[in-house]
Amino acid sequence: MVWDTIYGRDPAQPAVQEWGGISYALSALDAALPDDWQIVPLIKVGRDLAPKANEFLRTLRHTSHGARFVEVSEANNRVTLRYESAERRCEQMSGGVPPWTWPELGPLIHDLDALYINFISGFELTLETAQLLRRGFPRFIYADLHSLFLGRQPDGLRLHRPLPQAAEWFGCFDFMQLNEDEMALLGSDPLATAAAALHQGCTTLCVTLGARGAAYFTGNPIRTERIPAPALHPPTFTHVSDPTGCGDVFGGGVVAALLAGAALEDALRIGTQLGTRNLSHRGATGLRDHLVGKLSVA
């Protein structure tokens, strides 16, 4: 869980403070998961924001009674976001929530059916822990790699960088999600990049393309297709026009659909539908109710 302070998303409004990151994915999962699935949050929060974070968790309907985030003594992660355009922003992070270690994580996952991993800070797991996780959890793992591609300056400024030891990371997850800029950091040839990922053991690579929807790569030989985003109604929401820009909502929708047995293309359509629906809502508070019941597959 990360606490965001957002400037410039709506130039006419002052800075907005709200939950970001995984809270959007949790809302999408809660909206789209079938009733027989339960969300088990394995998420660390700083003691300073733990009560507020658990208030948010209690608004979700797919969690067990009494579910709580894991409280740590360090300050919670906070991010200042400054939007340069509808699709471009700069980030500055503070806080020190520590990564999961395998001895911590291992006992918590043995009875789970699937894992959704979202790299919100980029420091949730080290590569070594991710490799141990892959060996210790033989079932489905979906990972949004986003912040693994962000370095951190001494002042907390996040800058895009190529993913160190990318091939090793590719072997840790079944389904990987990244955006177009992150894909470009892996190489100039998307097909070659996808082939390298699939060769390491990943079964599907998904790339969000902003207003153009999302593309996937899967199979041997590789099969690829772009899934367009649905039309916006109304055609634009003020200055915002990126239905997959919130990759957390998109990813939560895709995971929920896959776990319900949807075909890959249909799951990506659901992800883009939820991402588009998210454009007419601000913040994660109340987002679950905004998204629920808005899904359809053509």
For each of the chain's 298 residues, which pLDDT tens digit applies?
999 998 876 667 788 888 988 999 999 999 999 999 999 999 999 999 999 999 999 999 999 988 999 999 999 999 998 877 666 678 899 999 999 999 999 999 999 999 999 999 999 999 999 999 999 999 999 999 999 999 999 999 999 999 999 999 999 999 999 999 999 999 999 999 999 999 999 999 999 998 899 999 999 899 999 999 887 655 544 444 444 447 899 999 999 999 999 999 999 999 998 887 776 666 677 677 677 755 554 4
- The answer to whether the bond into 103 is cis (omega within 30° of 0) is no
Q: With beta carbons less than 8 A apart as the criterion, state whether 18 and 56 touch.
A: no
> Residue 286 has which token pair?
């109340």
Q: Determine the pLDDT at residue 190.
A: 94
Q: Determine the pLDDT at residue 9.
A: 66
Q: Where are any strands of DSSP class E within 12-56?
A: 16-20, 44-46
Q: Determine the pLDDT at residue 297.
A: 45
Q: Determine the pLDDT at residue 236.
A: 47
d(C-alpha 57, C-alpha 71), whole Å: 13
Q: Determine the pLDDT at residue 2.
A: 94
Which of 175, 172, 101 is CA-nearest to residue 134? 172
Which of 237, 239, 248, 38 is CA-nearest to residue 143? 248
Q: With beta carbons less than 8 A apart as the criterion, state whether 54 and 62 touch.
A: no
Burial class for 274, CB neighbours closer than 10 Å (0-12, 13-18, 19+): buried
